[in-house]
Amino acid sequence: VTGLAWTSVGGDILFIESIISKGKGLTITGMLGDVMKESTQAAMSVVRSRAQKLGIANNFYEENDIHIHFPEGATPKDGPSAGIAITTALVSILTGIPVRADVAMTGEITLRGEVLPIGGLKEKLLAAHRGGIKTVLIPQQNVKDLTDVPENIKNHLDIHPVQWIDDVLKLALASTPVPLTTDVTLDENSAKEVQLADNSKETPITASDAIKH
């Protein structure tokens, strides 16, 4: 998953890696500050509260060991703006649905799944442009800050404002998760099979959904 970060020298691309294995627990690495660690816990709670809707077994957190890593481990990282990117990474690893490689995102996440505004939008969009990113998801409440972004940068990006994590997943995932119709656990061995069966039905991001400049 590709996130966007703000640093003392400007914006930067923030990559998020995740793996899953048999076991139990959540491991977070990458020299993270307390706020970012709490953001990861919030993302986990968002996924748990939406598990059935996302086609994820209700007991996934009891049957899996999840490891989330932020590369460049020697560089300190903090702040809440990676919340939606972390949530997307969790949903992707638990459903088997890949995240679009040309999408980057920034936004704080609440326990209700709402996307809150962030700082440094201009610098983050400049970083996305430098990194060859085509589509950027930003909080709806940050739309007003787009006036500070140079027109030539905005013209090269498809900028999508999002209000809820559901909007984020619709744009970021290669296909739409299929909800579970009953309470299914991993022991019944069906959650991921439901997901992977739908992976070929990719929903393209349409140009009409993006802000035009």
| pLDDT (tens place) for every residue of the chain, 213 residues total | 999 988 777 889 999 999 999 999 999 999 999 999 999 999 999 999 999 999 999 999 999 999 999 998 778 899 999 999 999 999 999 999 999 999 999 999 999 999 999 999 999 999 999 999 999 999 999 999 999 999 999 999 999 999 999 999 999 999 999 999 865 555 544 444 444 445 544 445 554 466 655
Structure tokens that stand for 38 in this block? 């709490």
Alpha carbon separation from 202 to 71, 100, 175, 197 (Å, rounded): 28, 10, 5, 12
| Tokens standing for residue 37 | 């660690």
Name the active-site residue from 18, 81, 92, 175: 81
- 192 included as an active-site residue: no
Predicted local confidence at residue 155, as pLDDT? 95
pLDDT of residue 73: 74
> Is 20:64 a contact under the CB 8 Å cutoff?
yes
Cα(206)–Cα(65) distance, integer angstroms = 36
Q: What is the pLDDT of residue 82?
A: 96
Taking every pair of C-alpha atoms in the chain, what is the biggest distance, in angstroms?
53
* Positive/negative CA dihedral, 140, 144, 149, 153: positive
What tokens does 54 get?
Answer: 């996302």
Under CATH, which architecture does the 2-199 domain have? 2-Layer Sandwich (3.30)
Nearest of 112, 54, 53, 107 to residue 85 by alpha carbon: 107
From the candidates 77, 122, 124, 154, which is the catalytic residue? 124
Predicted model pTM: 0.84
**What is the model's pLDDT at position 140?**
98
Quickly list H helices, the chain: 34-49, 60-63, 83-95, 121-130, 151-154, 165-172, 191-196
At residue 194, the pLDDT reads 42
- d(C-alpha 116, C-alpha 135), whole Å: 19
Known catalytic residue: 81?
A: yes
pLDDT value of residue 10 = 80
pLDDT of residue 201: 47
